[in-house]
Amino acid sequence: MNTRHHHRVRAEVADGVARNRLVAIVLAALLGVVGFLVATSTAHSANRSSATVSLRKTTLGMVLVTASGHTIYLFEKDRNDKSACTASCAQFWPPLLIRGKPTAGPGVHAALLGTTRRPNGSVQVTYNRRPLYTYTLDKRAAQTKGEGLSVFGAKWYALSARGTAILKPAMPTTTTSMTTTGMTTTPSPYP
């Protein structure tokens, strides 16, 4: 009887250990799912929370920037307050999305801030009736790598506090002429 009792106790202990392992595995899986959902929600809300639009000095002068200091661009193809940048375009030129109302930072005209509904239902910030975007290759604040690019069917420009495109100043061209005293180089007034 003692051996039988010993085997039964051993079987009960083994069942208990197996149950504890199963409970631990289920709890770990649930914690992983909860962690994933929290991380996804946090990342998603970082892209779609309150948006502050400010001014910052860049190589182009003072331009509109996001709360993190990244340059904001307009897309010339957009019409009537509506975005023409979707699908792969929006992967390279992420729209400035929001929940709620955008906030005007120093130097930004609050009356020019607004929103528009995108084709997928999300809400995008506008300025002077222009949907706003950032550029994925602007890795640091105040970079302006997207300025003047012509991709996805139109040009992209940083915005001024007035809500107009900032155009890069044309580089002065030079002309070379021969004179009896030698060669001279003078700047040309024409691009």
* 90 vs 5: which has the higher pLDDT: 90
Between vectors from CA 129 to CA 61 and to CA 166, what angle results, nearest 5°?
A: 20
* 177 vs 93: which has the higher pLDDT: 93
Provide the residue ranges of all domains of the chain, joining segments of one domain with +.
Answer: 1-47, 50-158
Among all chains, which residue has been given the structure tokens 């290759």? 137
Using CB atoms within 10 A of its CB, is residue 104 exposed (0-12), middle (13-18) or buried (19+)? Answer: middle
Please name every residue paired with 113 in a beta bridge, in sequence order, or none if there are none: 127
What pLDDT was estimated at residue 9?
A: 58
Separation of alpha carbons 15 and 17, rounded Å: 5
Separation of alpha carbons 70 and 89, rounded Å: 18
Backbone angles phi, psi at 111, to 5 degrees: -65, -20
Q: Please report, to the nearest 10 degrees, the dihedral formed by the alpha carbons of residues 73, 148, 162, 102 taken in order.
A: 0
Q: Calculate what percentage of the chain has a pLDDT beyond 90.
A: 60
pLDDT reading at 178 higher than 70 = no
Separation of alpha carbons 62 and 71, rounded Å: 10
pLDDT digits (tens, 9 = 90+) for 127-176: 999 999 999 999 999 999 999 999 999 999 999 999 999 997 655 545 44
* 65 vs 28: which has the higher pLDDT: 65
pLDDT digits (tens, 9 = 90+) for 141-153: 999 999 999 999 9
Identify which of 67, 73, 70 has the alpha carbon closest to the alpha carbon of residue 85.
Answer: 73
What pLDDT was estimated at residue 77?
A: 98
Separation of alpha carbons 168 and 24, rounded Å: 61
